[in-house]
Structure 1
Amino acid sequence: MIRFITILIELWLPVLLVAIWWIGSGSNPSIYLPALSEVLEVFVKLWIFDHIRIDLVPSLINLAFGYGLALAIGISLGTVLGLSPRLSATIWPSLEFIRAIPGVALLPIFVIMLGVGPSMKISLIAVGAVWPILLNTVDGVRSVSPELRDVARSFRLPFHVRLFHIILPSAAPQIFSGARISLSIGVILIVVSEMVGANGGIGYFVRSAERSFAIPEMWSGIIMLGLVGYALNSLFRVVEAKVLSWHFALNANGRRS
């Protein structure tokens, strides 16, 4: 029953927006806002069959590689900087300078250096999405309880034991917070990279439909992007709940007490 109520709370606004679009576009059709029935007909025709394989799957593959690379770099470098304040103070100004440059602004450079293939998109996602993971990892590592550090030193635990059993688990909630933000950034960057400098992908499809004035097709691509973003966020929540189950249980016990 509780799960059913939760689903209703999550779905009431999307259902309301769909109803408004359906009624509004049906009674007063516009060339820029076609009837939702027409858009859904085009959606089923295009995305249930060919274009998932042609455009969506390559985009998701590039997103997965770029996001995975951002996770690897952000967590590893953030851990090193969090454990070494002196090294962090040395290179932090350079990192802040690079972080201040929007990922989209680097797109022309990546296109010139890497072309318009998958390597450009993966690299752009990795560079643009790494920062929330990196910064949250640094903060998470630095915020490990001093008592835990003292206990680990008193028992003379090896470094790898302290790292994987104390430091990273304690920093995991903040790392996941940064990873959630980075996932949204990655989706944005894959779409932008395909719209501006690519010859395929879901972003390329939306841009091509707009240029050819195929408005229902353009809207079908936008709807697919929304569904993909929602699905990825839902998957992330499942993984987060599984990995951080101990953290949520601890907080729940703390609130009850």
Structure 2
Amino acid sequence: MKSVRRRLAVLGIEIWLPVLLVVAWWVASRDSESFYFPPLKDIWARFVGNWIFSGIPEFLLPSLANLGIGFALAVVAGIVAGLLLGLVPALYRRCWLLLELFRATPMIVLVPLAIMFFGVGSTEKIILIAVASVWPILLGTTDGLREVDPLVSEISRCYRVPLAIRLTRVMLPAALPQILAGTRVSVSIAVSMMVGSELFASTEGIGYFVLRTRETSAVTDLWTAIILLGLLGYLINLLYGAVEHVLLGWHRGLRAVEANAK
């Protein structure tokens, strides 16, 4: 019962300001006649019409499918490449400059190149999402493995623990906090690239909807897309937080034991 009350209290702390802002927006825009800032009640009516019914299969689901596949590819590729770089220091030293170069490059500039090679279908968008979001995961995995206590690794080798067990039972769990920190950054990058890739020569997705509202000067519809993206980002963050809470349960317990020991 206490945990339920605590969660409700946390939820109340999180939502009171957004609720207050929405109420203030509703009241302040009630009599608005501005073309660019329509009343919130009109935006809400269009939101229901656009997204609660036909907009979900036509625009939202294609975007979420591309996001899910692209992000899954980024997680797998980032962890595998990060393992390789983290376990082979010489390879990391040789690739460090190249990795930093790619990480610092705005991936949106690759959109024309991706369209040239892969066309304007889902493949192009999935590849762009994967390439844009892989770097924080890769670097988080690499740094996490490099910071594993050398004594732990040495003891594992002395006891001739097989490499597969060392990776799954010792090294990956130790690096997991940094892997998940990189993954959290990658989530926001993936969502941004999901929309950005759909703004160019696309025929489906939320980005295409935004592009269409610009061409038709449907400002109210544009506001509905902005609100949808905000809600989508918040829900994805909640889902990721729940996954992170489960995966790092042992880590919080270990930190609590260490704090009590001090």
TM range (shorter): over 0.9
Post-superposition CA distance 1:119-144 (Å, at most 9, x none): 11011011111111011111000111
For 1:28, the equivalent position in structure 2 comes to 32
Pairing 1:92–2:96 present = yes
State whether residues 137 and 182 of structure 2, in contact with CA within 8 Å, keep that contact through their aligned partners in structure 1: yes
| Matching residue of 1:127 | 131
Count residues with an aligned counterpart. Answer: 257
Partner of 1:184: 188
Q: TM-score, normalised by structure 1?
A: 0.96
What amino acid does structure 1 have at the position aligned with 2:176? Answer: A
The 5-angstrom pairing of residues 215-254 of structure 1 reads 215-254=219-258
TM-score for the superposition, normalised by structure 2: 0.95
Aligned partner letter, 1:117: G
Matched, 1:10 2:14: yes
**Mapped pair 1:116 → 2:116:** no
Report what 1:104 is aligned to. Answer: 108
What does the per-residue CA deviation read over 1:210-244, in whole Å, with 9 as the maximum and x for residues that have no partner?
A: 22111111111111111111111100000111111
Alpha-carbon shift at residue 150 of structure 1 (Å): 2.1
Cα distance in 2 for partners of 1:115, 1:25 equals 42
Establish whether residue 209 from structure 1 lines up as the match of residue 217 from structure 2: no
TM-superposed CA distance for 1:29, in Å, is 3.5
Q: Deviations over 1:140-165 (max 9, x none)?
A: 00111122112211211000000111
CA RMSD across the alignment: 1.2
- Report percent identity of matched pairs: 44
Query: For 1:178 and 1:254, how far apart are their aligned partners in 2?
Result: 25
Question: Is the deviation greater in 141-150 or in 177-186?
Answer: 141-150
Q: Any idea what the Cα deviations from partners look like across 1:172-225, whole Å, max 9, x if unmatched?
A: 010000000000000000101111231110111022112211111111111111
**2:85 equivalent in structure 1:** 81
Q: Which runs of 5+ in 1 are unaligned?
A: none
Could you tell me which residue of structure 1 aligns to residue 148 of structure 2?
144
In structure 1, how many angstroms separate the alpha carbons of the residues matched to 2:229 and 2:115?
23
Contact 2:132 2:193 in 1 (8 A): yes
After the TM superposition, list the runs of 4 or more consecutive aligned residues in structure 1 that deviate by more than 3 angstroms. Answer: none
Unpaired runs of at least 5, structure 2: none
CA distance in 2, matches of 1:256, 1:12: 34
- Which residue of 2 is the match for residue 164 of structure 1? 168
Bigger shift: residues 122-131 or 247-256: 247-256
